[in-house]
Amino acid sequence: MTILERLATHGHEQVIAFQDSRSGLRGFLAIHSTRRGPALGGTRVMRYAGEDDALEDALRLSRAMTLKCALAELPAGGGKAVIIERRGFKRRAALEVFGAVVETLGGRFHTGPDIGIGPADLEAIGRGTSHVARENDPRLGDIGQHTAIGVAHAMRACLEIAGIAPRGARVAIQGVGSVGAWLARILAEAGCMVAVADVDESLARRIAREVDGTVIPAGRVLSAPCDVFAPCALGGVLSARTIPKLRARIVCGAANNQLDSAADGERLARRRILYAPDFLANAGGVIRGAEYYLLRRASSWETIERIHERMLRVASLAAPRNASTARVAEALAESRLRRAK
């Protein structure tokens, strides 16, 4: 399949391949949709097996951002940028050049942090464009915290549906970076029994001590007995190979693109595992970004709390048909896209 055929399959408007030989910059910027407003999406810096994998990541993540914004009823669409970390990559210089690439789009794409991006990186991007979120803006707040609170609202809805009280509920969190760590704190405060896993074992131990939780080896978290499995690391964790290993009644986490394929949503439904679609549950961060930068709102807590209601609605529509909650949520998002001008 050619690149243009892949764009047509995913419904993208535009994909830019960019490179700069002096700084070692190389990557892709994908704009999936601007029908509802400018495309929002983070920038990630990662090592990829090949350029094709980086492109596929940008395509899938940008489409998920469109669904996320549409389902959250935001005046925005979806985009994503991926930068390939490789030999000769001069980080600060490369990110400054990337900022200039973003600036050429004239506000059609607004970006922010993602995997591999920290505050200093955002400052470097900001030297090339004004269309980037800065983590040191106290009025914006902590985007990771906003994302985690949204996931907690979705999880609360799932627990209600399953008839499980939050106090004492067993939650296994896979990945305790910025969002996963915030989620662990929020759930511990609500009385959940939190277990954490991370490839960085020292980080997992530190967060477990902070929330009076336990540590699970990273290779065993998928099969850990729990009420809720919360994937908060990389995507593609739920697949034909891993879903049979799950010993949870609910899957609700912050990672993007948790399903390896659309069929995996059906696999979860057949096992009667309640799945909170990632683009529904993890929308708290983009809600805050959109409301702050596009709508100039001082606070987004009330809007983020509506994730609870959306999860209840999606589950209520999926249950009578024993259907995939992911497909139901996607259909709702696409119906809003169709109604956009």
Distance in angstroms (rounded) separating the CA atoms of residues 276 and 36: 24
Tell me the CA distances in angstroms from 53 to 49, 159, 290, one per residue in order: 7, 36, 28
Q: Tell me if residue 205 falls in helix, strand or coil.
A: helix
**C-alpha to C-alpha distance for 272 and 267, rounded to whole angstroms:** 9
Active site residues: 80
Do strands 109-110 and 170-174 pair parallel, antiparallel, or not at all (unpaired)?
unpaired
CA dihedral over 130, 135, 140, 143, signed as positive or negative: positive
Find where tokens 């996607």 sit. Answer: 330
Detail the DSSP E strand segments found in 180-248: 193-197, 214-215, 228-231
Report d(CA 297, CA 14) in Å as an integer.
Answer: 29
Radius of gyration of the chain measured on its C-alpha atoms: 19
**d(C-alpha 32, C-alpha 63), whole Å:** 6
- HSE-CB at 307 with a 13 A cutoff on CA atoms is 34
Sheet holding 170-174, edge to edge: 214-215, 193-197, 170-174, 228-231, 250-251, 274-275
Contact between 83 and 26 under an 8 Å Cβ cutoff? The reply is yes
Q: Report the distance separating Cα 116 and Cα 16, nearest Å.
A: 20
Strand partners for 214: 195
Relative to beta strand 77-84, strand 170-174 is: unpaired
- Please tell me the distance from the alpha carbon of residue 118 to that of residue 91, in angstroms, as a whole number: 12
Tokens of 238: 């739920």
* Residue whose pair of structure tokens reads 């799945």 in the numeric block: 275
